[in-house]
Structure 1
Amino acid sequence: MSAAPASPPSLVELDTGAEARLRNPGGDLAAVLVNGGTARPLPGTWSATSELLAEELGPRFPDIRFLEVRYRVKTWKALESCMADAAAAIDHLVATGARSTLLIGFSMGGAVAVGIAERPRVAAVLGLAPWIPDELSVDGLRGKRLDVVHGAWDRYLPGIPGVSPASSRVGFERARAAGSEGTYTLISRGLHGAALRRRSGDLVRLPRWRAWLDHTAAALARFQAVSSV
């Protein structure tokens, strides 16, 4: 049976002043999607990759709330501000009935998700091409699951955002050593994420976007199954 058509998301104002888009209101499970950033401080934007995942997977998982976070300022030079916005998203979900959360962090969002993973309502983290800097503590993942999915062709180039798979692998192994479990998966010929955004606002699906979708769907299904026990 095919999934129901996606309904438009509703806008949520978080306590920090950041915004979020909510799909599938209700239910006691939630996925929080947090975005990448830039070196130069810029106003937050909606992530093309997160939007594509939420649009495609929201109808497949109607019992999971999808909350996309738009930071007040998106930059890795103010990582704690981005973490505060993501934590406020969790607080909003908990206050409205969520009992367990999966954090889905894309690019810099990987560091954001790992940085707040110690929160009690966070069950697991899914890092999509995650940036996990060496100085970031991974202790909050102890006893929790971290799965990493990375494009094999991802890398930083001048003027083009990217994170090398070798970098995320180091972060993943640090988390395992700290007491986390999970999997590390490379997407053959995968780039940095699943989508880009045109100036018009339309999404452009990158090559291998379906692989990103499938791996995220698998993580959501596992989260749902474990949370139902």
Structure 2
Amino acid sequence: MSAAPVLHPLTTGAEARSRGPARGLAVVCVNGGQAAAVRGTWSASIEWLVDGLAARFTDLRFVEVRYRVKSWKRLDWCVDDALAAIGVAAAERVLLVGFSMGGAVSVRAAAHPSVTGVLGLAPWLPDELDVSPLVGRRLDVLHGALDRWLPGIPGVSPSSSRRGFERATRLGVEGTYTLIPGAVHGIAVRNRRSGRLLALPRAARWKELVEARVARFRDA
């Protein structure tokens, strides 16, 4: 088992928590969001993944971000929170992992000089998003084939993230785009009563693919 995470107040007023050695390489993970301006929370999907990743990659530092406000209407704030967490990571090289809205946050934060790549998990990459911060970095996208927005149910269409990925490749950005058959938008959810994390369908496949890309980052 990996050690309990260490909490870090960020200069922006957000919060981060980290596991792993405070040097070398870091994986900084950012959450999704919504339209309404609500207080940030820890991502169940990211937490479920990091629990396994930190146990396997004991030589890497994993940093999770809790935004001040998790809303795409405060995207600038979320980007500032991510950049503050990169500062806390204090790593030579950083892989940004962005779930849902965290995809757009990661692309914008990729301009930080220590960032060498972005891994988007069902990433929101709207057509108006400037993907030029990815130039000179790597972009890998994983997306559930059954993901889509439905009334009252959050989601991101794979066709949307595919367009964002292709816009980046036209700028010379290298990477991969992978659809996960049978997977939906999330990887895990949190039981409201117990707080326990519950894996969603195809979570094991998500984990396998994420591990492969984290290993590539580590070994680059």
With structure 1 as the length reference, what TM-score do the two structures score? Answer: 0.94
Q: Is the 1:30–1:65 Cα contact (8 Å) retained in structure 2?
A: yes
Aligned match of 1:174:
167
Give the whole-Å Cα distance in 2 for the aligned partners of 1:225 and 1:50: 22
When the two chains are superposed, the root-mean-square deviation of aligned CA atoms in Å is 0.8
Q: Is the 2:99–2:120 Cα contact (8 Å) retained in structure 1?
A: yes
Shift of 1:193: 2.2
Give the whole-Å Cα distance in 2 for the aligned partners of 1:7 and 1:92: 18
Shift of 1:156: 0.3
Aligned match of 1:108:
101
Helix, strand or coil at the partner of 1:163: coil
Q: Is the 2:96–2:118 Cα contact (8 Å) retained in structure 1?
A: yes
Give the whole-Å Cα distance in 2 for the aligned partners of 1:152 and 1:27: 36
Counterpart selection for 1:65 from 41, 45, 61: 61
For 1:207, the aligned partner's letter is: P
Counterpart selection for 2:206 from 202, 212, 215: 212
Give the whole-Å Cα distance in 2 for the aligned partners of 1:54 and 1:45: 15
- 1:145-167 C-alpha deviation (Å, 9 max, x unpaired): 00000000000011111000000
| Residue 17 of structure 1 pairs with residue 10 of structure 2 | no
Shift of 1:79: 0.3
| Residue 8 of structure 1 pairs with residue 34 of structure 2 | no
Helix, strand or coil at the partner of 1:173: helix
Counterpart selection for 2:192 from 168, 174, 199: 199
Helix, strand or coil at the partner of 1:74: coil
Q: Is the 1:37–1:74 Cα contact (8 Å) retained in structure 2?
A: yes
Helix, strand or coil at the partner of 1:58: helix
Q: Give unpaired runs (5+ residues) of structure 1.
A: none
Q: Is the 2:156–2:185 Cα contact (8 Å) retained in structure 1?
A: yes
For 2:68, the aligned partner's letter is: R
Instruction: List, as ranges, runs of 4+ consecutive aligned residues in structure 1 with deviation greater than 4 Å.
Output: none
Aligned match of 1:130:
123
Give the whole-Å Cα distance in 2 for the aligned partners of 1:148 and 1:74: 21
Give the whole-Å Cα distance in 2 for the aligned partners of 1:13 and 1:25: 18
Q: Is the 1:8–1:23 Cα contact (8 Å) retained in structure 2?
A: yes
Q: Is the 2:22–2:89 Cα contact (8 Å) retained in structure 1?
A: no
Give the whole-Å Cα distance in 2 for the aligned partners of 1:150 and 1:204: 19
Give the whole-Å Cα distance in 1 for the aligned partners of 2:210 and 2:9: 26
| Residue 187 of structure 1 pairs with residue 180 of structure 2 | yes
Shift of 1:26: 2.3
Helix, strand or coil at the partner of 1:26: coil
